[in-house]
Amino acid sequence: MDRRTREYLRGRFGDYYRSADLPLPPAAEAREWGHIPWTAGEGTTMVRHQSLLSLGDLGTFLAEESPRHVYFSAARYDDPGETRMDRKGWRGADLVFDLDADHLPGVDPETTAYPAMLAACKDALLRLLDLLEDDFDFETSVVFSGGRGYHVHVRDESVRDLDSEARREIVDYVRAIDLDAEGLITTRSVDGTTRRVLRTEGGWGRRVHRRLLEFVADLREMDESDARTRLQELDGIGAGRSETILGVVRENPDAVEAGNVEAGGPGLRTLVDALVRETIEEETAPIDEPVTTDTHRLIRLPGSLHGGSGLAVRRLDAGEVADFDPLVDAVPERFTRREIRIEVTDPGPVSLDGDSFTLDADEYTVPECVGVFLMARGRARKVKE
């Protein structure tokens, strides 16, 4: 990044911070703060181990320093400004989840356009929230990272003192890592006989069971031959098994409802096995493990700007998640008021603030937010107006 571009972005980030009123996270004075300044060259230097006390007023600090990236710790400390971790006096940490388009299965960040990556990430976010809210009963706070993903913060007091190992158990649950698929079915003794049943009262067993009930409800809606075709699309189900499964579905709905996988012979068990695979594929959330298990992690400050996109790190209200479009809703209003002149160095499509352009390697006058976005991503440089 050349000097003119850097100075421009630094100046405009400062303008943004001067007019922004950033809310502090809870217990801000017990958090460690860090930032990356605008520096020349490739390397980035994080200035960390700062306390709010050493920064002074956060708003003033941000306006004067105008950092490229701003972070605060998920952890609370007795002495957040202490440089040695073991002397900080760890008092607990929020539980934090990170979804990043770079880590989504089936999404290649090299070939996938930015809007498509963000959309895939949003799907993963909705799955994560479903797990955290329905299974864990956590109160969540969702933040768009300003880059390629989302962060979810859980600040329930009950989770703060969980150690790294306990957090890993939560990660593994969310990703269904080491899930014992056989173990989702258990032996239950009913009136002297034993039965193999799905564990329907919670966990992944309950999720598989829900899917089974939906699947079966769909089958009942279909006519005979469609239902048979639908069943035979699944692994391990041929003409014979589809017949027995349909028989159970029609004649013994209570057994399906109760999670009894032996009703009508081995057919239903095969269906359940297929649905286990589907449930894992479609309901797990590919969170980035180290972010959750590291109890000293620094996280982007909501309300700050992401130096690699010029987008705002935005906290989303519960009702806002479904309709949130980062490429519109995270564009700082401050950067939508005028046009600027840039030279595109890395041509290609760009979608922002409701507009889409395809830019060649040339000089353009563009809305400021588009210019900031391209410059922050290293795809353009500032030229004289």
Partner 1 sequence: MRPDPHHARYPFFTAAREAVQAAAIDPPQLVAEDHPAVERGSERVERALLSGTVASETPDRWRARDELLSYPVARVLVSLVDSPAAVEKYAAAEAATAVERFREDFERGGDGLRSVSTPRVDLDDVLREFGLDAAVDRETADRAGDERVRVDVDAYLRLSNPDWGDRWRLVNRELAAGRVRLERGDLYRLLEAAVRRCVVEGLPFDVRASASGEALADALEDEVATLRDLLSERDAPPARDVDTVAPAQFPPCVRALVERAREGDLPAHSAFSLTAFLTAIGMDADGVAAFCDLDPETVEYRVAVLEDGDDVQYPPPSCETMDAYGDCVNRDERCETVSNPLAYYAAALDDAEAVEEYDT
Which positions touch partner 1 (CB under 8 A)? 134-138, 156, 158-159, 161-162, 165-166, 168-170, 172-173, 176-180, 183, 186-191, 194, 199, 201-206
What does the alpha-carbon distance between residue 51 and residue 54 come to, in Å, rounded to a whole number? 5
Q: How far apart are CA 50 and CA 37, in angstroms?
A: 14
Please state the closest distance from residue 336 (CB atom) to partner 1, in A: 42
Q: Which of 94, 98, 273, 353 is catalytic?
A: 98
Q: For residues 188 and 377, which CB has a smaller minimum distance to partner 1 in the complex?
A: 188
Distance CA 213, CA 197 (A): 14
Please, which residue, 12 or 209, has the CB nearer to partner 1?
A: 209
Residue at 315: amino acid letter: R
Give 233's DSSP letter: T
**In the complex, what is the shortest distance from the CB of residue 292 to partner 1, in angstroms, rounded to a whole number?**
13
Task: Report which DSSP code applies to 312.
Answer: B
Torsion of CA 354, 355, 361, 367, to 10 degrees: -80
Establish whether 98 is a catalytic residue: yes
Residue (178 or 221) nearer to partner 1, CB: 178
Q: How far is the CB of 159 from partner 1 (least distance, A)?
A: 6
State which residue, 260 or 351, has the beta carbon closest to partner 1.
260
Angle at which helices 267-283 and 114-130 cross, to 10°: 120
Write down the catalytic residue from 288, 294, 325, 329: 288
| Least distance from partner 1 to the Cβ atom of residue 260, Å | 14
Nearer to partner 1, 90 or 173 (CB): 173
**Among residues 79 and 135, whose Cβ is nearest to partner 1?**
135
Shortest Å, Cβ 196 to partner 1: 11
List, as one string, the DSSP characters of 140-175.
EEEEE-SSSEEEEEE--HHHHT--HHHHHHHHHHHH
Question: Cα(118)–Cα(112) distance, rounded to whole angstroms?
Answer: 10
Q: Which residues contact 175 (CB under 8 A, 6 or more apart)?
A: 284, 285, 286, 287, 289
- Active-site annotation holds for 79: no
| Active-site annotation holds for 180 | no
Q: What single letter denotes the amino acid at residue 177? A: I
Annotated catalytic residue, options 94, 100, 273, 353? 100
Q: How many CB atoms lie within 10 A of CB 118?
A: 22
Question: How far apart are CB 154 and partner 1 at their closest, in Å?
Answer: 11
Residues recognised as catalytic: 98, 100, 288
